[in-house]
Amino acid sequence: MELDGTALAKTQPVKEFTVVVQEKAIELLRQPKKEVTVWAFGLEGQEATVPGPVIRVPMGTRVRVHFKNTHVLPHSMHF
């Protein structure tokens, strides 16, 4: 029997994350300081940031990412 390297991963539980996008006002670090509205991303239950969170898992881990858009416009995520 040949294994393609994913057989073990398929027997492991899936690690799930929920990424939330929201509109957020941030202050630019320049003079004069200026507040701008941005689309920020965060893991559910954590503060949304720009850039969004880094999701790290061990190699071979099965991952499922849920994307919750709380903004009025459509958004996407890039991996």
pLDDT tens readout for residues 8-56: 556 778 999 999 999 999 888 877 888 999 999 999 999 999 888 999 9
Evaluated on CA atoms 33, 48, 38, 50, the torsion sign reads positive
Answer whether residue 17 is part of any domain.
yes
Give the C-alpha separation, 39 to 15, whole Å.
25
Answer whether residue 76 is part of any domain.
no
Residue 26 β-bridge partners: 36
Answer whether residue 74 is part of any domain.
no
pLDDT at site 29: 81
pLDDT at site 70: 86
Tokens (6 digits) for 22: 């929201």
Answer whether residue 57 is part of any domain.
yes
Query: How many domains does the chain fold into?
Result: 1
Answer whether residue 2 is part of any domain.
no
Answer whether residue 48 is part of any domain.
yes
Answer whether residue 51 is part of any domain.
yes
